[in-house]
Amino acid sequence: MKKAMWAVLVAAIAAEVVATLSLRAALDAPGWYALTAVGYVTAFVLLAILLRMGAKIGSVYGIWAASGVALTALLAAALFGEALSWPMVLGIAVVMVGVVLVETGHEKTPVETSPVAESETRTEVGA
């Protein structure tokens, strides 16, 4: 993936983690529900942007989901005192290794842009 794609992916992960943690915070203070909604919408819009940029859904979604789970679990333990057992830590590590393997496999295959991305590129070139 290109650097710009990584930046968008990191922003999507951050938005999803903020949304999920805000959902937990909203149990005590309902005002957090607004940030939950904004965070999830932002995360999915950023994922859609990644797809338009030509990113592969298999690797992007895997990285986004696994990173979101890992960061949410770690931050929930730190912020809300939720339990984080060794089996949970091991599970997070296994998922992250799996995502790295999926991403490594995608790097060896040629990148195909979506028909939408191709038509936009042709329009920009022809303009």
Looking up tokens 């936009």 gives 120
Report d(CA 80, CA 53) in Å as an integer.
Answer: 36
Residue 14: the pLDDT is 98
Report d(CA 13, CA 37) in Å as an integer.
Answer: 15
Encode pLDDT of 8-45 as tens digits.
999 999 999 999 999 999 999 999 999 999 999 999 99
Residue 58: the pLDDT is 84
Residue 12: the pLDDT is 98
Residue 104: the pLDDT is 78
Kindly state the helix (H) or strand (E) to which residue 84 belongs, with its residue range.
Answer: none
Report d(CA 113, CA 54) in Å as an integer.
Answer: 5
Residue 59: the pLDDT is 84
Residue 118: the pLDDT is 58
Kindly state the helix (H) or strand (E) to which residue 39 belongs, with its residue range.
Answer: helix 32-52
